[in-house]
Chains A and B, each alone.
Chain A
């Protein structure tokens, strides 16, 4: 019987990085957890001590992503986002965090990762929009069934939510 390709990816990942690549778990807002896993932090340490290993991961990622594993896509997208973030390719990091959001918009960690990559790209209004209104954004993205919308559309949504939320706060402050 052929082995599950994700298990092979995990083995290869561990061989390069020296720690496990676990299947990404959803950080639901309701769960009240700051972050679900330490993958980004562990990769940051790896990058700081041995950047070539992260470069190696980037090379393997291309192949892993081409396997089109539907169940594990969010894990691979976020991993790709982290690797490009570490290599300061924030455009690509943003692209993969957006894909991770499309795979699972309920996962707050995907939104936060996107917001920090936007900060590096100078898209501060969108980054702040996510930081300050993450709850509305997670909710409306799902409620309006926006999976797969363009980044331009997403931007509009985030800016609109931010504007409405600020207007509401201003009004309640005046009262």
Chain B
């Protein structure tokens, strides 16, 4: 599971240019005209190839700044470093970038949608040891430029606050009824997912419509890919917070997860604190902020998640249908 996927034909070059399948589905969504715009990061040495690919599919492209020293932990010590959450990098001008620096690009079929995404799409970088964060209103408006549903943007505005909330847990609490696999955002940084936004609930109607439309369109071009995505999205998941998430080969029955294999599915493998512990067992359940792990019915480990002031871990189990 979770191996890199190469499409048979449609947008196949995207992967060789990027050396990764990350955001392939979003690229397809823009090409298919379902998503108005997206942003991505392309190595400078392969930018010309990427531009040619965009032109081949009728897409317009706009460059922003280059990202250098990505994920260098010393960046966190810059002025404002504490405000950085996921990707951290030094920002440099494209003309000064090295071949392996990543260029932040925006792509769209329409000039207007491209400009709208670009103006609101600054991604925080450090320049001269200082984090340059965009105005908060741009962050909120960026979601519209990327085609996210209004209800999800509003929910994000309230709950994307790492000091006060676990955003994913809030989505879980806001879900009434069966979670739909079309609203599964956990694998968004891999190829196996139809959405790249955080939905307002795991059965948000607007998200289901959007993701369903995309699924049907991709199915016509790459039916095998759709089969694989569906399979991955319907696995059981144990979520701690946005950077600590696991998928399992198994099944949830009566609030207990019975499993064989564990996969870490968040972006940064270095923040994978529990895989070894989880592998010790074959069954687990969540109780009062604790994950209790069993092996053949006997308790083998407990993961405690006390309340914290930043990136609060609020574990929960979920399986989408």
A170–B132 alpha-carbon span in the complex (Å): 23
A50 to B251 CA separation, bound complex (whole angstroms): 45
- Residue B83 lies at the interface, judged by CB distance under 8 Å to chain A: yes
A44 with B135: CB separation less than 8 A = yes
- B136 near A45: Cβ-Cβ < 8 Å: yes
A166 CB-CB contact with B under 8 Å: yes
Interface stretch of the complex, out of B21-29, B88-96, B298-306: B88-96
Q: Say yes or no: is B134 at the interface (Cβ < 8 Å to chain A).
A: yes
Residues of chain B lying within 8 A (CB to CB) of residue A116: 122, 134-135, 138
The answer to whether A86 has its CB under 8 Å from any CB of chain B is: yes
| 6 A-B pairs closest in CB distance | A34-B80, A44-B137, A44-B136, A41-B136, A120-B119, A32-B79
With A131-B91, A131-B127, A166-B93: A40-B135 Cβ-Cβ less than 8 Å: yes
Q: Does the CB pair A34–B136 fall under 8 Å?
A: no
- Assuming the contacts A40-B136, A41-B136, asked whether A132 and B127 have C-beta atoms less than 8 A apart, the reply is yes
In the complex, chain A residues whose CB is within 8 Å of the CB of B138 = 116
Contact of B137 among A32, A85, A112, A170 (CB under 8 A): A85
Q: How large is the interface on A (under 10, 10 to 19, 20 to 34, 35 or more residues)?
A: 20 to 34
Contacts of B80 in A (CB 8 A): 34-35
Question: Could you tell me the distance in whole angstroms from the C-beta of A38 to the nearest C-beta in chain B?
Answer: 9
Check if B133 is an interface residue, CB within 8 A of chain A.
Answer: yes
Per-position 1/0 for A19-35, Cβ under 8 A of B: 00000000000001111
Chain B residues near A33 (CB-CB < 8 A): 79
Q: Which chain B residues numbered 83 to 106 have a C-beta less than 8 Å away from chain A?
A: 83, 91-93, 95-96
The distance in angstroms between the C-alpha atoms of A128 and B125, with both chains bound, is: 13
Nearest-Cβ distance from residue B13 to partner chain A, whole angstroms: 28
A112/B93 in contact, CB under 8 A = no
Since A34-B131, A45-B136 are in contact, a sample of 8 more A-B pairs with Cβ atoms closer than 8 Å, ordered by chain A residue number, is: A33-B79, A35-B80, A48-B137, A48-B157, A113-B135, A135-B128, A166-B96, A169-B96
* Dominant secondary structure of chain A at its interface with chain B: helix
- Pair A119/B122 contact, Cβ less than 8 Å: yes
Whether A34 contacts B130 by the Cβ 8 Å rule is: yes
B140 at the interface (CB under 8 A from A): yes
Q: Is the CB of B119 within 8 A of A112?
A: no
A47 at interface, CB cutoff 8 A: yes
Which residue in chain A gives the minimum CB-CB distance to B128?
Answer: A135
Contacts of A119 in B (CB 8 A): 119, 122
Does B183 touch A at the CB level, under 8 Å? no
A47 to B128, CA, bound (A): 32
Taken together as a complex, chains A and B put the C-alpha atoms of A161 and B279 apart, in Å, by 57
Contacts of A128 in B (CB 8 A): 65, 93
Whether A173 is near chain B, meaning CB under 8 Å from some CB there, is yes
CB distance from B155 to the nearest CB of A (A): 12
Question: Does A77 make an interface contact (CB < 8 A)?
Answer: no
Contact A170 B96, beta carbon cutoff 8 Å: yes
Q: A91 to nearest B CB, angstroms?
A: 14
